[in-house]
Structure 1
Amino acid sequence: MKHYFISFALILLSISAFAQKGIVKGNVKDADTGEDVIGASVSLEGTTTGASTDIFGNFQFNADPGTYNLISSFIGYKKTTQQITVVAGQETVINFALASDAQELEAVEIVGKANTESAGALMVERQNADVMIQAIGAEEMSVKGISDVESAVTNVTGITKVESKGLFVRGLGDRYNNATVNGLVVPSTDPGKKVIDLGLFSSDIVRNIDINKTFSPALYGDFAGATVDIITKDYPDEGFFNIGLSGAYNSLATGQQFKTFQDGDSEFFGFSGNGRALPSEMADRQTPDSYNNSFTPSTVNALPNMGLKASGGKLYDFDNGMAVGFVAAGSFSNKYEIREGVLNTYRAEGTTINAYDSKEYIYSTNTTAMANVFFKVNDKNSVTFNNFYINESSNSNLELFGKHEELGRTEPAFRMRNTYEQSTVNIHQLVGDHKFGENDRLKLTWGAGYSLATAQEPDRRQITYRDLQDADGGSITSKNTADDVSTGRLFANAPDDSHRFWSDMSEDTYSFRIGSNYGFGEYNDDKDTYRHNVSFGYNSFFKSREFEWWMSTISVVGRAPRLDVSDPQTGLDQAIADGSVEYKPIVRYDTRFTAAQNVNAFYFDYGLEIIPNKLKMNAGARFELGYQEVVYKEENTTNPNAPDIVNTKETENFLPSLALKYTVNEKSNVRFAASQTIIRPMMSELIPFRFTYANGQKIVGNPDLKNSDVVNIDLKYEIFPNNGELFSVGVFAKNIKNSIELVTKASAITEFEYVNAGESYVAGIEVELNKRLSNVFKSGNDWLTRSTVGANLTLLTSQTDLSEADGLFTNEKREMFGASPYMINVDASHEANLFSENVLSIFTLTYSNFGDRLAAAGAQGAGDIYERSYGTLNFVMKNKINDKMGLDLTMKNLLNPDITLEQEFVNGTTGVVQTYKKGIEAKLSFTYSF
């Protein structure tokens, strides 16, 4: 706890250094209509000090004491000036009412850039949109202390993260979702997942995130949960350059002894270089003379987690109306974690097969770079060139101590596995935006992108010991702990026991889009829309993937050697030298596959104001041509010249959609949406050979898989009581035919296979609330005016019917994977000048929880495995000092709950499959703007 007080004291000291200025704040309205003027400029004459008004017409900035002329201006309005006196430590409140400038209005067309980083602006966009959409902007992510896209999306109604399985939307997991960047498809870095890991994308490069939980024709039809579109930052209105530094303390890891393997050239920064490279002999399935890396771990002290970032941008305007702008950003962050708990497997009656105490040391990094260039030809034509590089690494050392049934003994075994994973994504995009005709009657947008994703798991090392002894040579019993183990006898009965493993995947993706919107009929000046709108376009992507793995097992020839578990490499070298142990590369040629997936799609959408300003309809359809191809060799083939097996699938899908929006009044809407979508098998699921993942799970693909057909229905009522406020309630239902499920396969070993399982459904209720407290309690209290609360709740029911599928599952009817019966997010924020009038502080408390959800289906009489409910409580204090400095305190996972998986058995009992804690994190962040 002392670390928290130190952090708090540092904030107070820094704040006091900037308390000599005064605050200038106020509001700008239209003198004729009384409406707030968004984006008006307010500045001190003869200085660069000032601000622009936000979505509510409000402005605020700090200034040195003195007397000034304060100027407010905006295109189409007369410039207005008021004299003010700024006093140190005090607020100066000035309100403007701008009068229209008739002459300027005749000569100038108002062109502005919407601030879609703002929560208020996104709320207005949501209210006016023809279709259902939700969004979260950079402003909200900053206030809530959100560091990446995945964490941001989990704040949206009906979306949760399931450990190691990614995001679940309305109870639907990875295969039912999509992700794009600026509307263009990007590849996944995980061969077993469809959607790229959204945790790769730092919030520093994000302007806003659009979440589409209903289908419209411009979206790819391969989803039923959500399509997440990451909109990245483009040119700034004003030049800027920011730097940031953060340090974080984890209650379970920081300062503790940390076991790891530091083999790569720059693994601290997340780059392995050649440190873990595959030996050239292994590529030919030959035994190398030696391996580069040791089985002996290093022990270090876990440092505080740290983060570094910098960003900058500028817009250059030219006299002929042209402009060139850029924005660039770079960041690096790392994290130390220690997860200690248990890991068990069970028989159907509840007795354990394996029962381990587990301890995992995880060091992870994220490096992000962005460089985007914007070119404006004129106010109606612009082109943007986006470039991103992302590198993520995870270096994990897992220790398992306990019962290992394969030994056939009662004494415990000890296993250690080091797994290093590195993923990189390169994204390059060219995007254009054009407008033509009066009132922008015709709008054209287009984009083209190339992405390369790579994923490596180089030199995974695992070693298993039996016949354990302590430091005195005494035999280890079940009463001892892993810390007592001094030596153990090498155990290598099966290839998975003790081995080295490499895997390498790369995926190229080309993505294209072009879309147009043409308006005709009566023009609505208030809403800037035509009564009739026709949209049509084309989008496509072309993916190609290569994947290959290599494995070398440790084989005992004579008597298994006894090894020092703190330095096994020395004993292993000696055993190899005397011939009692040898490496045996796996000589098979079914370890490589290539795959391709192409989608060409054409879409049409017709929008009609059936009753002007009251009832709007959008009806359309999408036609998708799908092509999938996988190339592999027969399972277990030892012939390098064995012929390739080519499996292709071609599909044609017509996907209709209908959206209705009824405007009850200027503050509320009723929305309805219905559509049909599809779910395609993933490339890796169509390959019929066994692949063993790092967690030991063995999965066999199925070339006979068919697409799933999905019918989607949504109905929602939404109210926008005041600016930035919302109350909505909605219901949804989805019916999925030929749903693809992972089931236990009938075989001599435990393995899983994908099958078309028949019919599934998911249905639920979603409620969302955002409210300023002063609009609830009409007391006029300033504290209430500066306080907001938000909440969203999802109630869910789901079922998968496996009665028509082949498999050894225990329950033919069960919930869908990851589908929680309830999900809730709550947040409360307060804005205050608590420490000084020159320091704006925002305090935010967030809490989330979910109901027990299915993590794995039981088989052969064993019950299903559930992830038990737990709550997450976070606190963020952001401080903006002198318009130049930020000093923030973020406290995450304050409840530090147990994360637990439990299996239910037919006799009514339960058993813990896995449990661990993440620890409490306290982070102090400093930013400075030049």
Structure 2
Amino acid sequence: MNSKGLILLLVLIKSTVLFAQNGQVIGKITDKKTGEELIGAAIIVEGTTMGTTTNFDGEFSMPPLDEGTYTLRVQYISYQTEIVSDVVVKEGAPTVLSIALSPADMDLGEVMVVAKANREHENMLLLEQKKAIVAVQSIGAQELSRKGIGDAESAVSKVSGVSKQEGVKNVFVRGLGDRTLATTLNGFPVPSEDPRYKNIALDMFQSDVIQSVGVDKAFTADRTGDVGSAIIDVRTKVLQSDEVLSLSVSGGVNAQAAQGTFLKTDGVNALGFANIYQGPAGGKFPDSYAFQNKLDPSAAGYVGNQSYTLSAGKQLKVNDNPLSVFVTGGYSSDVSKQDGHQRNMTNNGTIYKDMGIDKYDINTSHLLMANANYQWRKDNSLSYNFMAIHTSNQYFSELEGYDNDALQSGAERDSLLLHRQQINDNVLLVNQLYGNFRLSDKLMLDAGVAVNTVNSHEPDRRINFLYINDGKYSTYTRKGMNQRFFSDLSSQDINSRLAFTYDMGDEDRMSAISAGYTNRLTSDRFNGIQYEQRLQNTETIVFDRKEDVSFDYIYNQERFDAGQMHLERIHSYYEVNKYVHAVYANGVFQLSPSLFVTGGIGLDYVDILVDFVGELGEDGSLNGRRTNRLDQLFILPSANLKYDLNEQHTLRMGVSRTYTMPQSRELSPFEYIGMTFKERGNEELRPATNNNLDIKWDNYLSRSELLSVGAFYKLIEDPISRYSSNNAGGFLLYDNVGDVATVAGVEMELRKNLFEWGNDDRETLSRLSLGLNATYTYSQVKLHVNPASQPTEPNSQLEGAAPVIINSDISYTYRQHKRSVTGSVLFNYFSDRMYSIGYDGMPSLYEQGVPTLDVVVSGQLSSRLGVSLKCQNLLNPAFVYYRDLPSGERLELEQFRKGSAVSFGLNYTF
């Protein structure tokens, strides 16, 4: 018998023994008015801590009980507590209950504890949105599963006003990108794993660890002030029942990657762990060619996409108080291929680069998450959360065509072959300890600390060229043509919070004031080592066919020992220390049964010190050292209003002032050479200040239906943006591009059940539902004119601001008893948007709008076995970057397709 069969046998034996000696209480909890299932309702045996919660179908199963008569207490957020007496339990015979709860009036306690409920379910998150004074939007684990969403980045891109820009990590919210976002994990900030970005890549958080993802676009004094577009908070999964043991597996294929030979870069093992080292030492001119990775790729057998997740949890008792423990671990690998072309141009429209490209990607992820939650007395809890995430992203790309800027030979159509291969290996370690403590009947304390560590490596990025002449491939020895690059980023991040809330309300009015302190102490250390390698004192090496090309034949230890190769080592680094101390005071007041107001003020002191070294000399001296410091005190007022027109209709309005700090790499003159573009920072950048206004109307059609319309306006002082000019080297640069920028728009969201049928006992359900959200955004900045550079056009959209974003889905669900099937069709679209603002005659660079279509089918074959089928990117659209020339012609600078993918998965709960 295999291990899986043995585990299943043990579980069955355990269940048989328990239920032979004890009785079982099972049942369903519903809304008394609508008959709808209530998810996350608590059922507790009076006088004990023994209990359970309802699942996604409103069903529950109590732990085995001894024979006898019991009283049960049933609780659910915004519903009246129901006491069920005289529940008789008999040995070996299940007791079946059907309990209907009546809605209750909201009170302060509900507002304070709503987040403690089961936030995996769509209805619970919609209820949270309805009760909240400040407008919030969230997507939970149930919706992630229904839409086939694999990570937090894909999750938030389904929220209104949010879109993903290809080639740029993280998302754009209301036309504003990474530097204006704030990313938190369970309310605590987490550092970025990439030196080019402020926020951690959201795709590091796989759906296996996500309870919900919240996107807050309206701001209050008690949240971080370094935000201009949204705070994205990832909430990790916690135990939702007495115990759980489940296994999920899935496999699939990308149709484009499965065609032909798949090429893999050297330096990463089969499990996705990179060979991390720093290359040969020996000062500026190394004494050996001791590189461990090959330059030539290998042909890999295509193994497809795969994912494995194991989760386990159990609720224990410590001093008669509940202690829940939950652990989940997983591995996933995703393989894809892109084919397309790259071009580049001068500011007069002359094309100097036109190359075809094939790119082979392998992305792997390992994760381990564990949390424990201990509760005692009323409203006291202490939680510990640990997370370890390892990701590896590797690609090999082959480009062929002409690039006169690279060769600089003077001919119009000099052709070349380029191999570029890159590995990014990242490790994130998170430790969080936080709790809520009732100090008195009126006073609550929320306190916590988080210690995070990030180690990010880019070991051995390899760039190699060959000159093409008469169909043959020959070496070309110009400086800068053949490089190996190693970098590592080490981040230490400690942040803490301390907040007191005093309840001043009574039975008729809710009123509370809060005050707190938060801090964040971050240290980033980045090292970059570049090796220039070129042949010297040797004849040109020629390959007759591309199939014969071998860069390992050209560059190796033997040629180095023979003096036929020049190797130069260039070492640069920067260090950024960031200290943020913030205090705030905030108040929540109920002025009438329908009118709620919050107001507060925050004070943030930010101190950033950047220490950059352009190059370490051969004797270890520091050449080109620069130090830059930013320190500023920000005063951040905010106010929010909520008015309930009636039970269904709610109006909200919020005003706030926030700021946007430049990113670490944007403040450093470090030069980064990307796959398509090169970037360089600017030491003179200043923080931007954001003045925000939000208005929103919500119509809660039912507990699962919503119609919402909102408008927003932002006035940004000293906006920061990326721009492209006709500079030497073709770098994309950063600046405060104007005095003010304006962002305004409207958002709409609809969740509607088009058809629903169920029998009287709700054992059979058939439902067709529609989800739709759409956003229109207007953005404009009047660009600065200065002696060094002048904008090509006087006004511009903001970087990443897509005027139109549409996300929609239509889902059909059929359920009968323990079996169910759900099918969803998802469509997403964003219109053309700015990638980089044009300067010095260079036209602005745009990303063409992209439609995507996915189909997801999932089913529950029994109470234990589930299946899923995902068909993603079915339209396989072209991703295009272009410039509009003065002649009216549109020039595509980059175009590629990612391919469609199909996967099948199984989930078994023991």
TM-score range, shorter chain: 0.7 to 0.9
Q: Which of 498, 503, 520 in structure 1 is aligned with 2:482?
A: 498
In 2, the alpha carbon distance for the partners of 1:724 and 1:77 equals 26
Change over 3 Å in CA distance of 1:370–1:99 after alignment to 2: closer
Return the match for 1:830 from 812, 826, 835: 812
* 2:514 is the counterpart of 1:535: yes
Aligned to 1:163: 166
Counterparts in 2 of 1:605 and 1:135: CA distance versus 1, 3 Å: same
Does 1:586 pair with 2:588? no
* Contact 1:73–1:80 (CA under 8 A) maintained in structure 2: no
* CA distance in structure 2 between the aligned counterparts of 1:865 and 1:783, rounded to whole angstroms: 54
Aligned counterpart, 1:572:
555
Change (3 A) 1:819 1:34: closer
Match status 1:554 vs 2:533: yes
* Residues 462 and 34 of structure 1, relative CA distance in 2, 3 Å threshold: closer
Structure 2 residue aligned with 1:425: 428
Q: Deviations over 1:144-174 (max 9, x none)?
A: 1111111101111100110121200000011
Does residue 1:288 correspond to 2:268, yes or no? no
Aligned CA distance change for structure 1 residues 93 and 348 (closer, same or farther; 3 Å): farther
* Structure 1 range deviating more: 809-818 or 917-926: 809-818
Distance in 1 of aligned mates of 2:42 and 2:200:
40
Q: In the aligned structure 2, how far is the partner of 1:746 from the partner of 1:831?
A: 56
Please tell me the residue identity of whatever aligns with 1:826: S
Q: Which moved more, 1:34-43 or 1:443-452?
A: 34-43
SS of 2:640's equivalent in the other structure is: strand
The answer to which of 174-183 and 628-637 deviates more is 628-637
8 A Cα contact 1:692 1:698, kept in partner = yes
Per the alignment, do residues 492 and 695 of structure 1 end up closer, same or farther by CA in structure 2, a change over 3 Å counting?
Answer: farther
Question: What's 2:216 paired with?
Answer: 212
Q: For residue 256 of structure 2, what is the amino acid of its counterpart?
A: L
Alignment map for 1:303-452 (pairs within 5 Å): 303-318=303-318, 320-405=319-404, 406=407, 407-409=409-411, 410-438=413-441, 441-452=442-453
Secondary structure at the aligned position of 1:259 is classed as: strand
SS at match of 2:702: coil
Following superposition, the deviation at residue 424 of structure 1 comes to 1.1
Task: Give the aligned partner of residue 298 of structure 1.
Answer: 298
Superposed displacement of residue 719, structure 1: 0.8
Residue 236 of structure 2 is matched in structure 1 by 232
Tell me if the contact between 2:280 and 2:290 (Cα under 8 Å) persists in the aligned partners: no
Is this contact kept in 1: 2:284–2:618, CA < 8 A?
no
| Distance across 2 between alignment mates of 1:902 and 1:289 | 41
1:443–1:555 distance in 2 versus 1, CA, 3 Å: same
Of 133, 138, 159, the residue aligned with 1:135 is 138
Give the SS at the match of 1:78. strand
Structure 1 CA distance, aligned partners of 2:617 and 2:280? 21
Which residue type is aligned with residue 626 of structure 2? I
Change (3 A) 1:641 1:61: same
Deviation of 1:284 (Å): 5.9
Please report how far the alpha carbon of residue 863 of structure 1 lies from its aligned counterpart in structure 2 after TM superposition: 1.7
Q: Who is 1:810 aligned against?
A: 792
Inter-CA distance 921–661: structure 2 relative to 1 (3 Å threshold): same
SS at match of 2:436: strand
Contact 2:390 2:427 in 1 (8 A): yes
Contact persistence 1:534–1:607 (CA under 8 A): yes
* Cα RMSD for the two superposed structures: 3.5
- Distance apart, 1:636 and its partner CA: 8.7
Deviations 1:22-81 (A, max 9, x none): xx98654569x99986655799xxxxxx995468x943899xxxxxx9998636412477
Q: CA deviation at 1:141?
A: 0.8
Q: Say which SS state the counterpart of residue 645 (structure 2) adopts.
A: strand
For 1:380-436, what per-residue CA distance to the aligned partner results, in whole angstroms no more than 9, with x for missing partners? 321111110111111111111001212434352111111111111111110111234
Once residues 142 and 453 of structure 1 are traced to their aligned partners in structure 2, the CA distance between those partners, rounded to angstroms, is: 29
Pick the aligned partner of 2:245 from 235, 241, 246.
241
1:200 to 199, 204, 211: 204
One-letter code aligned to 2:84: K
Q: Secondary structure at the match of 1:605?
A: strand
Query: Residue by residue, what CA displacement relative to the aligned partner does 1:572-595 show, whole Å, maximum 9, x if unpaired?
Result: 3498258574132234x5x11111
TM-score (norm 1): 0.85
Q: CA separation in 2, counterparts of 1:294 and 1:53?
A: 55
Question: In the superposition, relative to structure 1, how do residues 519 and 260 fare at CA in structure 2: closer, same or farther (>3 Å)?
Answer: same
Instruction: Report deviation, 1:346.
Output: 1.5
Match of 1:599 in 2: 580
Question: Which secondary structure does the structure 2 equivalent of 1:290 belong to?
Answer: coil
Shift in CA distance, 142/178, structure 1 to aligned 2, threshold 3 Å = same
Mapped partners of 1:704, 1:862: distance in 2: 23
Of 700, 709, 721 in structure 2, the residue corresponding to residue 720 of structure 1 is 700
C-alpha distance after superposition, 1:598-617 (max 9, x if no partner): 10000111111122x21111
Counterparts in 2 of 1:669-684, with a 5 A limit? 669-684=650-665
Tell whether the 8 Å contact from 1:601 to 1:623 is kept in structure 2 after alignment.
yes
**Who is 1:665 aligned against?**
646
The answer for the alignment partner of 1:479 in structure 2 is: none
SS in 2 for 1:570: helix
Closer/same/farther in 2, CA of residues 271 and 594 from structure 1, 3 Å limit = same
User: What is the CA–CA distance in structure 2 between the aligned matches of 1:698 and 1:307, rounded to whole Å?
Assistant: 34
Paired residues of 1:255 and 1:303 also in contact (CA < 8 A)? no
CA distance in 2 between partners of 1:583 and 1:463 (Å): 15
1:546-572 Cα shifts (integer Å, max 9, x gaps): 111111112231333225754331243
Rounded to whole Å, the distance in 2 between the matches of 1:180 and 1:781 is: 39
Counterparts of 1:112 and 1:795, CA distance in 2 = 30
Per-residue CA shift, 1:873-899, capped at 9, x if unaligned?
111111112211111111111111111
- Alignment partner, residue 11 of structure 1: none
1:516 matched to 2:500? The reply is yes
Query: In the comparison of the two structures, how many residue pairs are matched?
Result: 848
Mean Cα displacement is larger for which, 915-924 or 253-262? Answer: 253-262
Amino acid at match of 1:583: H
Question: Is the contact between residue 347 and residue 726 of structure 2 (CA under 8 Å) also seen in structure 1?
Answer: no
In the alignment, which of 183, 189, 198 is matched to residue 187 of structure 2? 183
Is it true that 1:118 corresponds to 2:121 in the alignment?
A: yes
Q: 1:736 corresponds to which residue? A: 716
Distance 2:151 2:52 in 1: 28
Deviation sequence 1:220-261 (CA, Å, 0-9, x none):
111111011111122333200111111011111136311112
TM-score if structure 2 supplies the norm length?
A: 0.87
Query: Could you tell me how far 1:289 is from its partner in structure 2?
Result: 4.2
Is the CA contact (8 Å cut-off) linking 1:258 and 1:361 kept in structure 2? Answer: yes
Please, which runs of 5 or more residues in structure 2 have no aligned partner? 1-25, 45-50, 63-68, 76-81, 90-94, 104-112
Distance 1:412 1:746 in 2: 23
Aligned to 1:78: 84
User: In 2, Cα distance between the equivalents of 1:357 and 1:830?
Assistant: 43
Structure 1's unaligned 5+ residue stretches are: 1-23, 44-49, 63-68, 84-91, 101-109, 469-474, 477-486, 525-529
Whole-Å separation in 1 of the counterparts to 2:180 and 2:690: 10
**1:302-333 superposed Cα distances (whole Å, 9 cap, x missing partner):** 21111111011111135x44222211111111
Cα distance, 1:773 vs structure 2: 1.8
* One-letter amino acid of the structure 1 residue matched with residue 162 of structure 2: I
Displacement, 1:175?
Answer: 0.6
Answer yes or no: is the 8 Å Cα contact 1:334–1:365 preserved in 2: yes
Which residue matches 1:105? none
